[in-house]
Each structure stands twice: as C-alpha cells, then as structure tokens.
Amino acid sequence: MRIHYLEIVTKEVDAVCAAYAAANGAQFSNPNPGLGNARTAKLPGGGLVGVRAPMQEAEEPVVRPYWLVDDIETAVAAVVEAGGKVAHPPMEIPGHGTFAIYIQGGVHHGLWQL
C-alpha cells in the first residue's frame, strides 16, 4: 500500500503549511487549481500532501489518505463489498489521475489511479 496523495482540508491553510515547513522542512507550492487550490509538497516515495480550504460551506476539516490503486473501479467495488460507502464516485482530474472517496468506520478514505 502506498499513499499517493494526503489531503488536508482546513480553514487555516497557511498556518498548517507553515507548521509542516517548520517541523519537517516541507516546501509548499502555490495553490493548484486542479487540486481544489491545494498547496502541495512532495512526500517521500513520490506522493504529495495537499493542504486546501473547504470548497463549500458544509465541508468539514478532514485528513484523507488516497491509496494508489491499479484499477479504481475494481478497488471501489471491493470497498463497497467490504461495507464502505462511496462518498464521491471515480472522477478524473486531468493531468493528475482518477480519484474516488469512500467512508468506512466513520473515516474518510480515498483511492487514486494514475
């Protein structure tokens, strides 16, 4: 298992990025419109951490790992079979890949296919 994208949704984007930079030396990008205006930094192993503000009033702060998968449709079917509830069906982000979000055990999880 490998985390391809670690998404952090917070109303305090600059403060969270500054804390990661101070504690870990992370260097964050300018907001990336393709990733919901997330500011991103590289993770060891090739993934990214993205810190963004909520995209709508009702969106709550969350930390959501997106696990890299070979076949997102098969992976979504497997999590549904295991009792997960799809919160966002697979959707392509041009230039980034395809993601899906599911909730299991009260926790948000993501899947990502390149």
| CATH number of the domain bearing residue 17 | 3.10.180.10
> Which residue, 46, 63, 80, sits at the end of a domain?
63
Distance CA 9, CA 11 (A): 7
Q: Are residues 13 and 29 in the same domain?
A: yes
Q: Are residues 1 and 56 in the same domain?
A: yes
Q: Is the pTM of this model over 0.85?
A: yes
Q: Are residues 74 and 33 in the same domain?
A: no
Domain of residue 53: give its range. 1-63
User: Dihedral of the CA atoms 27, 16, 59, 33 (nearest 10)?
Assistant: -20
**56 class by beta-carbon count within 10 Å (0-12 exposed, 13-18 middle, 19+ buried):** exposed
pLDDT in tens, 34-43: 999 999 999 9
> Which residue, 63, 87, 104, sits at the end of a domain?
63
pLDDT band at 45 (very low <50, low <70, confident <90, very high): confident
Q: Are residues 23 and 4 in the same domain?
A: yes
Reply yes or no on whether the pLDDT at 62 is more than 90.
yes
Q: What are 79's two structure tokens?
A: 């999590």
Q: Are residues 40 and 81 in the same domain?
A: no
Reply yes or no on whether the pLDDT at 54 is more than 90.
yes
Please give the pLDDT value at position 42: 96
Q: Are residues 53 and 77 in the same domain?
A: no
Q: Are residues 50 and 100 in the same domain?
A: no
pLDDT in tens, 19-32: 999 999 999 999 99
pLDDT in tens, 68-112: 999 999 999 999 999 999 999 999 999 999 999 999 999 999 999
Q: How many domains does the chain have?
A: 2
